[in-house]
Structure 1
Amino acid sequence: MESESAQLDEATAKWQPLSAVERRVLGVLIEKAKTTPESYPLSLNAVRVGSNQKSNRAPQMQLEEEDVADALERLRECGAVVLIQGDGRVEKFRHLAYDWFGVDKVELAVMAELLLRGDQTIGELRGRAARMNPIADLAALRPVLDSLETKGLIIYLTPKGRGCVVTHALYQPQQLDKLRAQYGDASRTMPTDETEDAPPRATASHAAAAEPRDSLAARVEALEREVAQLRGRLDEIAHQLGEP
């Protein structure tokens, strides 16, 4: 599906923290290389349009051409993107993310989704990344996540297990600290059941029972986790049905 070959070179991985715009731009280049190879590499305007599109993006952005150009220049400086001459002398951009991250095709698909959407449950991540490279189920995703974690490219924001939340490690330090703090309470109370294919309600019920019965806050927190897990399941089902 992707025109370029996936080159794996962990020893020379060059990745580093990026700004929000830089992460979005790099994610777009990776995504389009995989999903629309006939239109890749991308012009500056194509990168801008891809960065601002409504689907498969969180948060929504309204970047100007200058914002995208600055991000591309920064990505070129750190070795993640290269400028090439396209047809009609139009400048186009190609990512170098395989070498930059030191990853394979499936790992790069996972990284692209995390760059485009940020923190999400592993169920959501599997369904979304599978549109770029096949990932049959959560069992197939686990070794991919293990590899990315070993390389320092992803971070678990909640304990590993069904419904756990993961994100990329390319945030600036202060951004990552803020994100960790947002999940701090959930990390301390989230169940660590590894049977990720069990119904979401079982985990939420277990978590609620473990909390003091007279603690309204604990019950609300358990319900919020259940809703997040159900949303992840619904997103995966929608993807399988071919909905956007």
Structure 2
Amino acid sequence: MQAVDPGEGPKWKPLERNERRVLGVLVEKAKTTPSAYPLTLNALRTGSNQKSNRFPSMELEEHHIEDAVESLQKQGAVTRLQGDGRTEKFRHHAYEWLGVDKVELAVMAELLLRGAQTLGELRARASRMEPIKTQGDLQPIVNALVERGLMVYLTPPGRGAVVTHNLYQPQELEKVQREHGGGLPSQPVVQPAPPTPPPTSVRPNEAPSAAPEVMQPGFREDPPAPAPRTADDSDLRDQIEQLRGELAELREEYKSEVADLRSELEDVLRQLTG
């Protein structure tokens, strides 16, 4: 576990969009491709514009990266190093800046790189950087980050809950919260159909009290009201939601492994051609 100086405490504050992407890339590459870390300006640009494990897709130019790095450096989140020859390289100080341990940092990095996501998606994606075997292992991490103000729920806690980081600018966070409605939609209450009265018996040779109602042309009888949902319906919906989450996790794990292999290949090629 990464040690945090108790005398200093976290220094984090909301970041601009490009700053969040750059910091997330530095953390990710430090964990997934340590042999190529610290990163050059060009490697940072490539990682920021990477198509996999990123949302939204971005096309940052070198001066955008330079501006973001300079701002992060002033805030104490990034250090500029003199690499081989004249090449400058950059490393993060996110452990101390955020006040987190290594698994918490993996979770924060995924949120910085991908934004709002379900807890199932978050576990699968963060696991490529640090092992998080089950949702039960993730939940105390989420609870700790929420308690420290680094993470927020966008929908009510529970299965399928959506979360994101709290490093947005205030107006950006408000927009994200509006997009997710601030909570899960409520289910309509279905009322049972009223009981049908028993038929009235008619004695022989006795005329009915009223003529039977005749359906007029073009008139359709209303269908019976649907039966109320049962506990079995709720269990089935939960099972379907769980299967969807597991499928999403498998899909993300596959994408992550492919992206890591591609990134490692790109780093090897850069080293060979550099």
Specify the TM-score bucket, using the shorter chain as the normaliser.
0.7 to 0.9
- Residue 132 of structure 2 is matched in structure 1 by 135
Cα distance change of structure 1 residues 52 and 161 upon mapping to structure 2, 3 Å threshold: same
Match of 1:197 in 2: none
Q: CA RMSD in A?
A: 2.3
Note if 1:82 corresponds to 2:79.
yes
1:13-92 to 2 correspondences below 5 Å: 13-92=10-89
> 2: distance between equivalents of 1:123 and 1:34?
21
Structure 2: unaligned runs, 5 residues or longer: 192-238, 260-274
| One-letter code aligned to 2:27 | I
Name the SS of the counterpart of 1:184 in structure 2: coil
Alpha-carbon distance in structure 1 between the residues aligned to 2:137 and 2:42: 36
Distance 2:243 2:14 in 1: 31
Q: 1:41 to 1:139 in 2, by over 3 A?
A: same
Partner of 2:203: none
In the alignment, structure 1 residue 238 sits paired with structure 2 residue 251: yes
Deviation at 1:97, TM superposition (A): 0.1
Runs ≥4 residues deviating over 6 A: 226-230
Question: Contact 2:121–2:252 at 8 Å: present in 1 too?
Answer: no
Q: CA deviation at 1:94?
A: 0.3
Sequence identity (%) = 57
Q: Is this contact kept in 2: 1:9–1:103, CA < 8 A?
A: no
C-alpha separation in 1, matches of 2:5 and 2:163:
24
Task: Specify the code of the residue in structure 2 equivalent to 1:66.
Answer: H
Could you tell me which residue of structure 2 aligns to residue 164 of structure 1?
161
Cα offset for 1:240?
4.5
Q: Secondary structure at the match of 2:176?
A: helix
What are the equivalent positions in structure 2 for 1:175-194 lying under 5 Å apart?
A: 175-184=172-181, 187-189=183-185
Q: TM-score, normalised by structure 2?
A: 0.71
Structure in which a larger fraction of residues adopt helix: 1
2:208 corresponds to 1:211: no
Is 1:99 aligned to 2:96, yes or no?
Answer: yes
